Amino acid sequence: MLKKYITLLLIAFAGYGLNAQCPPGDVILSSQAEVDAFVADYPNCTEIAGNMLIGSLTDNTDIIDISGLSPLTAIEGSLSIDSNVSLTSLTGLDQLTSIGEDLSIIFNPGLTSLTGLDQLTAIGEEFYIYINGGLTSFTGLGQLASIGGNFTIEFNHGLTSFTGLGQLASISGSLNLVGNSSLESLSGLGQLTSISGNFKFRYNDALTSLVGLNQLAYIGGDLDFFRNQGLTSLVGLNQLAYIGGDLIFQS
């Protein structure tokens, strides 16, 4: 009986050790010191049970290196990478395969690509890319196959194409392209077959054609073009068979 009791205790402590690899709930890292402390305290943390914020929702941070987060494989909630003005690489998220809710990348002007997210296959809900002036492409997201909510790309003035999204096949929400002034091509979206919501293009003045959407067959909502000064035709939508809402074309 005593032997059995000791065995149960050992199993319980072993389980506690596994659960203690990561902190419970949300993780907020708003400075380089906090990133370094997290790595020191949880060197084997693989799965975040809540949300994770790398950065700040209100102020610029001094974060420059997140490479110590390399054991992470999953985040059950949302991942926000926000207001890191000196961050130039997402190296450290290389083993991350899934995000249960949203991925937001907002105001990280030093990022030129998304290299570091190379193993990410699925985003459970929304994917939001906003004001990352140095970002030129989506290189680094070569394994991303599905987005469970809206995919919104707004005011990324260095973005020239969608190169890097070669496996993206479906978007379960809307695809919104707004104010990406250097976006010249939709190259990189060649595997995209369906958008369940709306497809909106607004204020993408460098875009001259829709070539790159060669497999897009289904749009569940509106196809909406507004103030894209260089776009004069819908060439590139050759496979589009269904639009569930309205076709809106305003210059």
128 to 71, 101, 150, 173, 225: CA distances (angstroms): 24, 12, 8, 12, 20
Instruction: For 61-91, give one letter per residue: b (16+ CB within 10 A) or e.
Output: bebebbeebbbbbebebbbbbbbbeebebbb
Q: What average pLDDT does the segment 81-102 reach?
A: 97
Read off the amino acid at residue 193: T
Dihedral pair phi/psi, residue 24, rounded to 5° = -75, 155
Check: pTM over 0.85? Answer yes or no. Answer: yes
Residue 6 binned pLDDT confidence (cut-offs 50, 70, 90): very low
> pLDDT grade, residue 172 (50/70/90)?
very high
What are the tens digits of pLDDT across the range 212-247? 999 999 999 999 999 999 998 889 999 999 999 999
